[in-house]
Homo-oligomer: A and B are copies of this chain.
Amino acid sequence: MDEASLKLKIKEQGDKVRVLKTQKAEKDIVEAEVAILLEYKKQLENVTGESGSSSKSKNKFVLKTPKGTRDYNEKEMAIREKIFNTITGVFKKHGAVTIDTPVFELKEILAGKYGEDSKLIYDLDDQGGEKCSLRYDLTVPFARFLAMNGTQYQNIKRYQIAKVYRRDQPAMTKGRMREFYQCDFDVAGSYDPMVADSEVIRIMYECLTALNIGKFTIKINHRKILDGIFEVCGVPENSLRPISSAVDKLDKLPWEDVKKEMTDEKGLDPSIADQIGEYVKYKGGRELLEKLMNDQKLSSNKNAKTGMDDMKILFDYLEIFKILDKVSFELSLARGLDYYTGIIYEAVTEQSGPPTLADGTQITRKTKKESDELDESTVGVGSIAAGGRYDNLVGMFASSKKGNIPCVGVSIGVERVFSILLQKAKLEEVKANEVEVYVMSVVDGLLEERMRICAELWDAGIKAEFMYKAKPKLQAQFSVCDRDQIPFAVIIGKDELSRGEIKVKDMRSKEQGEGGGVLVKRTEMISELKKRLQALSS
């Protein structure tokens, strides 16, 4: 955009933000619109070479988080913690343990693992000493951990929920972040075929169900079947991965565009592309596998045969795990990452439609690149969980072939889950604190008495607060209960205290009026509150 249109945009967007603020719109909506405004201002700065606002000169500091990062406030954190607890609950039900790795790794550990996307790796400044980079995902550090501790960890079911870093082009308006969470579950070890694989898919299913993010489908395919198809169609061996990555775009692009990429960009014979086009149309279940197995050409290909044998076993196991009806065998599923060697899968949800920009344009998923993968940095679009089997990654770190450990895993797109649940939740209604009882006084302040009662409650394990003021107004104390959704109040007054009594008030029953509440003997306060809290939680 040129300077004039940008200035117009900034004016319009500024008005929009002001209106939203006047209407007291939800904070995350306002923030999203402010982000767009800032993006326009930034663009203007780039065009004109000067700052679009004078705030910089007024402040001693530019008060912001780095590009592509953000703070999460207490209500957002409450949602996030609930997500993490739900997911770890499922992982632990299946016997998983967690490990922790440093946020940065030696640069050479990450080198050569992410193809073209390596340019997105954040390096630490060379301040003398080792060259380090922030982790780009959790899979490579896990593989490094296994290779380092291989003798002890010939098999492990591990999960890790942690932040990863990608120095991607900033597009905050599109919700793309440079710092974001990944949530990985992986099973390492040599086992009988498809057993671990089927449990990983079951875990993916259990997580997404427990997260309550709406309907979803799990697409499944097998890298070896894909490779077999490419081989029988006549794709040259060194084109297998590029052609696979073209197929991976079929969920975003029509076949014509994908074919064009295969032929024009990647030099594939159009007749070969057409043959592939026939195969990748297929989706289904056991009957599709049957059909492929009856395909003489395909079943005589070694790769395809191995893949189809795996799929047959997998279908049986998924049926035992009661999730066969949740999966769809789709030959167009290719998954971006090079390191997959067997089963691959991806869960897509109906809820994950792209958000809309201020100018009404829909945000589309970032253009797929050679080594694209589950793009967890993009909010609200694409797959919600994905993974597969990668049997050779650990071997890349091991000094001998013996050091290799086959793995299969899944990454739950927690940032997408977060954005879906954030859209659903009314942020102002989220209870971030866990306070159960607010201790307040009617008049006279009675600060020390309020403190004494709080200490009693804490000693009894009751979550309690009081106002840090000597003489707080009653209405101010009620407002806190209201704002923080505190269910009960202990209300004290001089007269009651002298009689050895306090009042317990259920703050959710507004009709009682401010003077309401039940007189309780001071000595019975704890048991009365415990009784009420128990009733509340059951």
CB closest chain-B residue, reference A59: B399
Question: In residues 147-194 of chain A, which contact B (Cβ within 8 Å)?
Answer: 147-149, 152, 156-158, 163, 165, 167, 170, 179, 187, 189, 191-192
Interface size class of A (residues with CB under 8 A): 35 or more
Contact A71 B99 (CB under 8 A): yes
Pick the contact of A399: B60, B66, B106, B458 (CB < 8 A): B60
Whole-angstrom CA separation of A98 from B134 in the bound complex? 24
Query: Inside 8 A of A108's CB, which chain B residues have their CB?
Result: 61-62
Interface check A103, CB cutoff 8 A: yes
Question: In residues 399-452 of chain A, which contact B (Cβ within 8 Å)?
Answer: 399, 432-435, 447-448, 451-452
Sample of 11 further A-B pairs with CB below 8 A, known A70-B102, A71-B149? A27-B152, A60-B397, A63-B148, A71-B148, A73-B149, A93-B434, A97-B432, A123-B125, A195-B451, A198-B451, A322-B459
Interface check A206, CB cutoff 8 A: yes
CB closest chain-B residue, reference A471: B192
Q: Min CB distance, A45 to chain B, in Å?
A: 13
Taking the full assembly, how many copies of this chain does it contain?
A: 2
Contact A156 B123 (CB under 8 A): no
> Which 6 pairs between the two chains have the least Cβ-Cβ distance?
A74-B97, A191-B468, A69-B102, A123-B125, A95-B465, A72-B100
Query: Inside 8 A of A448's CB, which chain B residues have their CB?
Result: 316-317, 320
Interface check A101, CB cutoff 8 A: yes
Question: Could you mark each residue 46-80 of chain A with 1 if its beta carbon is under 8 Å from any beta carbon of chain B, else 0?
Answer: 00000000000011111111110111111011101
Question: In residues 209-265 of chain A, which contact B (Cβ within 8 Å)?
Answer: none
Question: In residues 80-126 of chain A, which contact B (Cβ within 8 Å)?
Answer: 80-81, 92-106, 108-109, 122-126
Interface check A127, CB cutoff 8 A: yes
Interface check A514, CB cutoff 8 A: no
Query: Inside 8 A of A59's CB, which chain B residues have their CB?
Result: 399
Query: Inside 8 A of A458's CB, which chain B residues have their CB?
Result: 93-94, 202, 206
Q: A125-B125, A195-B447, A458-B93 are in contact. Are A63 and B147 (CB under 8 A)?
A: yes
Query: Inside 8 A of A65's CB, which chain B residues have their CB?
Result: 101-102, 105-106
Most chain B Cβ neighbours within 10 Å, of A70, A158, A433: A433
Whole-angstrom CA separation of A463 from B81 in the bound complex? 21
Query: Inside 8 A of A19's CB, which chain B residues have their CB?
Result: none
